[in-house]
Amino acid sequence: MNKNQKIILYGGAGALLCLVALVIVLIISNANRTDEVNQAREETESLRLANDRLLLTNEFNQLNADFNQYEDQQIYLKNDSLVQKYNEARLKVEGLLTELNQEKKSNAANRKRIKDLENEIATLKGIVKHYLEEIKRLGEENAGLKKELDQVNQRNQQLASQVTVATTQNEKLTQTVKLAKKLNITGVSLHAYNKKGKVEKNITKAKQLGVSFIVSPNSTAQAGMKDFYIRILTPEGTLLGGGGSFQIDGSTVQCTAHRQIEYANEEVSISVYWDVNTTLTPGDYTVEVFADGYRLASRHFTMKK
């Protein structure tokens, strides 16, 4: 082999070695670049999964807050099936979140957890929506019933007020009727008489006292026998007694004299006498007349010496 051939041979071998070395360098460089791309892709996927997990966690917390906000209104529910369904779905979501936080495997496994979590949260969201709608409906229904109850109570108060007014009017009417039936008397007088039956001006010489009055006509009063009771009080306030007693307003009252007559709804004059059995003094005497449970008159008379 001549010198030129050797140069060509060695030159070709050197070039081949250089080419091989270049290929090896390119392969290694490409492998490193692929690893970098894959690593960047995994990091991007991890960040995306972390962001999805954060968003789902926030959504879950918001659903919990929405549900708990109306916890005190669960009394409106006729059954607790919605609450039970909510609690079951909530436990599933909490379990998936725990598993996702503890997941140490590939992003593919994490992605499956995220998908399951999205499905469970969607279920939970539907339950919460239904729950809130039911709470609102029942709350409005309860408010309507409360309004009706308030209206009934108001109506009852109005009826009670009307009954009170009617009762008062009836009582007034009854009292009016009773007063209409009450006997009326006029011309009440008190006179002192001596032993000859003549009017005596000196009260100290009186042997008899006489009270006279006129009963007016009253067609509404009950006709029949009427008892008239006379009370005479001295200037010292002492009752001139001896005429028995009578009932008025549930009490027994002593009287000075008593007379019974037949009343025919027409005007009638009545005189009632009392025999003096004590020393009388000058001064103001009080005369009271009673009949049918009423005090018909009370008059004052000055008797002189």
What pLDDT digit, counting tens, does each position of 89-118 carry? 777 777 767 766 666 555 666 677 677 777
Greatest C-alpha distance within the chain: 206
pLDDT at residue 291, as a whole number = 95
| Tokens 């409106």 found at | 76
Kind and range of the H or E element at 36?
A: helix 3-69
CB neighbour list of residue 272: distance below 8 Å, 6 or more residues apart? 210, 211, 212, 228, 230, 257, 258, 259
**Could you give all domains of the chain from N- to C-terminal order, each with its CATH number?**
3-139 (no CATH), 185-303 (2.60.40.10)
Task: Using CB atoms within 10 Å of the CB of residue 287, give its burial: 0 to 12 exposed, 13 to 18 middle, 19+ buried.
Answer: buried
DSSP 166-203: HHHHHHHHHHHHHHHHS--EEEEEEEEE-TTS-B-S-G
State the DSSP code for 239.
B
Q: What's the rounded Cα separation, in Å, for the pair 134 and 127?
A: 10
By the 8 A CB rule, do 119 and 85 touch?
A: no
What pLDDT digit, counting tens, does each position of 168-197 carry? 666 665 554 455 578 999 999 999 999 999
What pLDDT digit, counting tens, does each position of 239-264 carry? 999 999 999 989 999 999 999 999 99
3-state percent breakdown (helix, strand, coil) of the chain, nearest 5: 55, 25, 20
